[in-house]
Chain A
Amino acid sequence: MINRFVPISNQQIRRRRFWIFGLVLFSTLLATLKWIAVIPSDTLFLTKLFMILLFILTFSWIALFFWSSLFGFWELARRKNGPGVHWPSADYGLSSKTALLMPIYNESPSNVFANLLAMAESLEKTQQASHFDIFVLSDTTQPKIWIEEEHLWYETKKLLPDGMNIFYRRRPKNIARKSGNIEDFCHKWGALYDYMIVLDADSLLEGKTMLTMAQLMELNADTGIIQAPPLCVNQNSFFSRIQQFAGKVYGPIVSAGLAYWQVSDSNYWGHNAIIRVKAFMQCCKLPILKGRAPFGGPILSHDFVEAALISRGGWKAWLLPELDGSYEESPPSLIDFAVRDRRWCQGNMQHIKVLISKAIHPVSRIHFTIGIMSYLSSPLWLCFLLVGLMVALGRNIFPPEYFPTTYTLFPNWPIFDKIGVISLFVFSMFMLIFPKILGLIIFLRNNKPKNYGGFLAPIKSTCAEIIFSALSAPIMMMFQSKFVFDIFIGNSVAWNTQNRDAVGTSWATAWHHHKWHALLGLLTTCIVWKYAHDLFWWMLPITLGLMLSMPISVFSSRESLGLKAKKKRFFIIPEEIVCPDILRRALRLRPKFEKLNFLKDGVVSLIADNELTALHILMLEVNGPAPDIKPQVLDAAKIKLDNFLYHKLIPSFEKDEEIALLYHPEILKKANLILQFS
């Protein structure tokens, strides 16, 4: 695809949005009218109203996904770039300076630095690497991991290509989490950089992609954010492989569809994006929301709000599906996915407060609504199912009254349009599945069969993915419904480190998380079988998914099953067969960094190494000031350290004790001197 500038007027943008949302409204209206017609005529009025409302909310959500994907398919089929963006020529030389920001929080240091070095090497190949600096912004609270980070930063520095810089800073207090981390960078060093590329701990961006992002920012001076859609890679559990496949096959038409109607008012996903520092600093100091958690307090899902504030400030935000070479990793299991979802759910529900605030761009309000609905749709769907079930059960348990007590000329014959219900169901399924087929068509057109395991491989993988989605959707519906309920009754969530390692879900863990799902599935199956037999087969995908939630969770978390599927040519993406250099390099570097990472015992390892003790003390000035440390904590730490130094008793430090020692360079220096005599 040759990247040429295609202008787009505000009128054309409005027309695009008119088409998308007009079609959503129109199809929802038609479907709702049909739904009204098929609801049994003897349903109570309030029940009927409730069913109609639920139908509108759930169907419109499906319709938006459908129409957006359709337009995305159209854009990709035409092979045209999105309009409104000036693209750089191949030899465009940068004049700006970009900071690559890697905010980390108790992540695996080996993986983080392996990824960073791979990205640095990839940048070097562009011959414009001197325009980029790397910043590792640590909010790590575990002292042992802090020490490992410093050490591996130091090793990475030695291995970095000439002319490139990598910096490290650890905050003593994790104020406002990731958004506070980025703000701290802006406060201290924002003045030195034109742009910043924000990464996640598992992000990988090819050098040419980062270069193109910086070039785009230079050529489009009114742009605040450019988001590159990331592709999930590098994981082998069955669950992750399905996510990776779905991302590769369906992701492009979803992204292209979003880009089609969002145009220059796109969203920001928190990573794999470049931001104009000036715009960010002018517009994005996030307020603390009034009230208590979970709705009040620091904004958790900061990315959507930052995009809205940048847009409010008059800057443009682009989602550019044309930018490839952008990667991330998927959670390895259904439960890890749900754990991440719990955090995101709270973050998105918190956006209800932002949604209703003044002076937010209308498209930003749509983004917030989509984010909120992506979680709220689950309890709505659950209510819809329950109400429908109760209506059906009610009819079977309490047969209709054909001849009521009041006089009527004719019997009261309830009308139930079975064909109408089936046709609505089939139409809804069509709207959910057809975009996947369109995505598959684009995938088959854009990739050679030898690069994805042969022509039949993606077809059978798509079928398998649809079946897995059908079975796991009710499980996620239950998870998300509980999350929403918890949030609305005031239970907040800890924003912990995401699990990125595929260790597999145990049966005990699966029992803990899914026992109520399985019970509900079993109960519903029995009730429907006995009292609403007609519904049994229609409800089977839902009830089966719930009843099998534990084995689905356990087996899909296993790498062995994922690799077996790969052998049978399921869920293969081209990036596995023709592996991009950066992915291959990052994977090769991980064991190398793991081998280098010998400081596994925290302070005890640190003080045994002269160079690394000096390094840690040197870095304290940037990592300071020290947090408040209770005297008794420091005293306890010193006693344990003394016992180690003079009596060789291996200390078992509490986290605060070890942190206290790490902030006292005079103690570390002395301990290092004493150890010279060991």
Chain B
Amino acid sequence: MVALKLLSKDDVITAYLKSFGFQGERLASIVATLSADLTSFSSDDGEVLIQRVDAILLKLARYVFPHSHLKNEQLLAQFKLCFLRAKGAEKCSPNDLKSLSLSKELIEEMRSLFVINAPLCHYLDMPDQSLDYSSSESAHD
């Protein structure tokens, strides 16, 4: 594993928020607010902290994209992508983050920015073709 040397709760929340576009003084104040509120986050293991944050974000992602068929990993990535494209960091208030809810406008914008890299697959098989060279060879070689 790539060794994660972010051990504190503040480290994990800061890293997450930065990766979602939050920065500067706004970031510091939000981290302080969230850190104080997330009392259940008592583990010192960075990996565990990340999994817990992921679980919360996944709930939010399923709320924002209720009809998506994406797997968890991809849905989280989609959520992050749309949040970044919609400049969610500028549109989210600390209260939104405390209650883990997003404004209607931001949700609508994120939904409009949903990235589809390929349509859903409609699998169909192609029948094998044969090229017979002589009468001694089977047509289904």
Contacts and interface: CB of A to CB of B under 8 A. Distances in A.
A673 B129 contact: no
B136 to A, nearest CB: 12
B77 A357 contact: no
Contacts of B11: 677
Interface in B48-82: 50, 70-71, 73-74, 76-78, 80-81
A614 B141 contact: no
Nearest to B113: A158
Interface string A641-670: 110011000000000000000000101001
Contacts of B133: 353, 356-358
B3 interface: yes
A289 interface: yes
Interface stretch (B36-44, B90-98, B104-112, B114-122): B114-122
B15 interface: yes
Main secondary structure, interface of A, reads helix
A284 B126 CA distance: 8
B81 A614 contact: yes
Contacts, number: 140
Contacts of A356: 133
A621 B116 CA distance: 11
B74 to A, nearest CB: 5
In this complex, the interface size class of chain A, counting residues with CB under 8 Å from chain B, is 35 or more
A281 B12 CA distance: 51
A286 B2 contact: no
Contacts of B74: 617-618, 620-621
Nearest to B128: A285
Nearest to B124: A191
A168 B115 CA distance: 11
B2 A641 contact: yes
Contact of A638 (B2, B14, B123): B2
A638 B2 CA distance: 6
Interface stretch (A28-36, A182-190, A416-424, A548-556): A182-190
Contact of B80 (A281, A610, A619): A610
A615 interface: yes
Main secondary structure, interface of B, reads loop
A595 interface: no
A190 B80 contact: no
B19 A676 contact: yes
Interface string A306-347: 000100000000000000000000000000000000000000
B84 interface: yes
A187 B124 contact: yes
B15 A618 contact: no
Contact of A667 (B1, B14, B116): B1
Nearest to A672: B19
A359 interface: yes
Interface residues of B, number: 46
B127 interface: yes
B129 A284 contact: yes
B31 to A, nearest CB: 12
A665 B131 CA distance: 43
B126 A183 contact: yes
A626 B85 CA distance: 28
A610 B20 contact: yes
A192 B119 contact: yes
B130 interface: yes
Contact of B118 (A167, A638, A645, A674): A167
A538 B124 CA distance: 61
B6 A673 contact: yes
Contacts of B73: 617, 620, 665
Q: Which of B15, B119, B132 has most A Cβ within 10 Å?
A: B119
Contacts of A183: 126
Interface string A281-295: 111111101100000
Nearest to B132: A358
Contacts of A90: none
A290 B21 CA distance: 57
Interface in B2-38: 2-6, 11-12, 14-16, 18-21
Contacts of B118: 135, 167-169, 188-189, 622
Nearest to B115: A618
Q: Which of B19, B124, B131, B141 has most A Cβ within 10 Å?
A: B131
Across chains A and B, which 3 residue pairs bring their CB atoms closest together, nearest first?
A357-B131, A285-B126, A676-B18
25 contacts: A133-B119, A153-B117, A154-B115, A167-B116, A167-B117, A169-B118, A183-B126, A189-B119, A189-B121, A192-B122, A287-B129, A287-B130, A287-B141, A358-B131, A358-B133, A611-B84, A614-B80, A617-B77, A621-B74, A645-B2, A665-B73, A667-B1, A670-B1, A673-B50, A676-B15
Interface of A: 133, 135, 153-154, 157, 165, 167-169, 183, 186-192, 281-287, 289-290, 309, 353-354, 356-360, 610-611, 614-615, 617-622, 638, 641-642, 645-646, 665, 667, 670-674, 676-677
Interface of B: 1-6, 11-12, 14-16, 18-21, 50, 70-71, 73-74, 76-78, 80-81, 84-85, 115-119, 121-133, 141
